Structure 1
Amino acid sequence: MTTIFSGANKIIQADNLEFLASVPDESVTMIYVDPPFNTGRTQERTSTKTIRVAHGEGDRVGFGGHSYETLRGALASYDDAFTNYWDFLEPRIEHAWRLLAEDGTLYLHLDYREVHYAKVMLDMIFGREHFLNEIIWAYDYGGRSRSRWPAKHDTILVYVKDPKKYWFDSNEVDREPYMAPGLVTKEKRERGKLPTDVWWHTIVSPTGKEKTGYPTQKPVGLVRRMVAASSRPGDWVFDFFAGSGTLGAAATQLGRNYVLVDQNPQAIDVMSKRLPQAEVFRA
Structure 2
Amino acid sequence: MNHSSNRIIRGDNLEVLSNLETDSIALIYVDPPFNTGKRQTRKQMKTIRDASGDRVGFGGHRYRTELVEDGRRGYGDSFEDFLGFLRPRMEQAHRILTSTGSLFFHIDYREVHYCKVMLDQIFGRESFQNEIIWAYDYGARAKKRWPAKHDNILWYTKDPKRYTFNLSECDRIPYMAPGLVGEEKAARGKTPTDVWWHTIVSPTGKEKTGYATQKPLGILERIVKVHSNPGDTVLDFFAGSGTTGEAAAKNGRKFLLVDESPEAVTVMKQRLGRYTSSREGK
Q: Does 1:212 pair with 2:184?
A: no
Instruction: Report deviation, 1:24.
Output: 1.1
Give a deviation string over 1:44-78, Cα, whole Å, max 9, x none: xxxxxxxxxxxxxxxxxxxxxxxxxxxxxxxxxxx
| Cα distance in 2 for residues equivalent to 1:218 and 1:98 | 26
Structure-1-length-normalised TM-score: 0.82
Aligned counterparts, 1:137-152, within 5 A: 137-152=134-149
Counterpart secondary structure, 2:121 = helix
Partner of residue 14, structure 1: 11
Partner of residue 42, structure 2: none
Partner of residue 54, structure 2: none
Structure 1: where are the runs of 5+ without partners? Answer: 41-80
Counterpart secondary structure, 1:106 = strand
**Residue 227 of structure 2 aligns to which amino acid in structure 1?**
S
Instruction: Report deviation, 1:263.
Output: 0.5
Q: Does 1:172 pair with 2:169?
A: yes
Q: Does 1:195 pair with 2:195?
A: no
Query: Which of 28, 31, 52 lines up with 1:31 in the alignment?
Result: 28
Partner of residue 102, structure 1: 99
Query: Which of 256, 265, 268 lines up with 1:271 in the alignment?
Result: 268
| Cα distance in 2 for residues equivalent to 1:205 and 1:32 | 22
Query: Which of 268, 277, 280 lines up with 2:278 in the alignment?
Result: 280
Aligned counterparts, 1:20-169, within 5 A: 20-38=17-35, 84-169=81-166
Aligned counterparts, 1:239-278, within 5 A: 239-276=236-273, 277-278=275-276
Partner of residue 72, structure 1: none
Partner of residue 228, structure 1: 225
| Cα distance in 1 for residues equivalent to 2:182 and 2:7 | 45
Instruction: Report deviation, 1:181.
Output: 1.6
Between Structure 1 and Structure 2, the one with more strand by share is: 2
Instruction: Report deviation, 1:164.
Output: 2.2
Instruction: Report deviation, 1:185.
Output: 1.9
| Cα distance in 2 for residues equivalent to 1:94 and 1:163 | 17
After the TM superposition, list the runs of 4 or more consecutive aligned residues in structure 1 that deviate by more than 2 angstroms: none
Q: Percent identity among equivalent residues?
A: 61
Structure-2-length-normalised TM-score: 0.83
Structure 2: where are the runs of 5+ without partners? Answer: 38-77
Give a deviation string over 1:50-107, Cα, whole Å, max 9, x none: xxxxxxxxxxxxxxxxxxxxxxxxxxxxxxx987101011110000000100000000
| Cα distance in 1 for residues equivalent to 2:151 and 2:144 | 20
Counterpart secondary structure, 1:119 = helix
Give a deviation string over 1:199-255, Cα, whole Å, max 9, x none: 000000001010001011000001111111110011111000000000011111211
Give a deviation string over 1:132-168, Cα, whole Å, max 9, x none: 0000000011111121111110000000000122111
Between the two proteins, the alignment pairs up a number of residues equal to 240
Counterpart secondary structure, 2:234 = strand
